[in-house]
Amino acid sequence: MDRHIEDAITECTRGSAEERITFPEVVAKLTAAGVERYRADLLRGERVYFLPDGESVVQDAHAAKTTPAMAFSASGVANAVRAIQRREIGYNDFCRRIMEAGCVDYLVSIPGRRAVYFGRTGECHVEHWPAPN
């Protein structure tokens, strides 16, 4: 894999955990690097980034210290999304809150302009984001 792509992925993973970069910045960096999507496994503490050709990279991410709720709350996830969008919370608190809402992992599709949050038994909540101006 191209070093530029690997560097962008590493920066996005670390920058998120260190709360130095926002989600829109992550999307911009990954788009520029050619990443198509990524999946964040909150229990394993890892992210898998995928390129359009099927190549992938696994990155260690911060391990969650929260046990996800057994029941999934789409409204709880949506509330956490709104709070981070308003910059009321950082990424680590966001992860804690979505886990408290029963989220165990999420998928971000860059070309699809959406994030899909999953519960233990396959329930999901979809968040779309607008196209850039």
Q: Is residue 133 part of a domain?
A: no
The pLDDT tens digits of the residues spanning 84-122 come to 999 999 999 999 999 999 999 999 999 999 999 999 999
Q: Is the pTM of this model over 0.85?
A: yes
Contact 99, 113 (CB under 8 A): no
The pLDDT tens digits of the residues spanning 11-22 come to 999 999 999 999
pLDDT in the model for residue 99 = 96
pLDDT in the model for residue 114 = 97
CA Rg value for the chain? 14
Nearest CA to 100 out of 60, 73, 61, 131 is that of: 73
Range of the domain at 93: 3-128
Q: What is the CATH number of the domain that holds 66?
A: 3.30.1810.10
Q: Is residue 77 part of a domain?
A: yes
Burial 112-130 (b: 16+ CB within 10 A, else e): eeebebbbeeeeebebeee
Beta bridge partners of 57: 49
The pLDDT tens digits of the residues spanning 39-92 come to 999 999 999 999 999 999 999 987 778 899 999 999 999 999 999 999 999 999
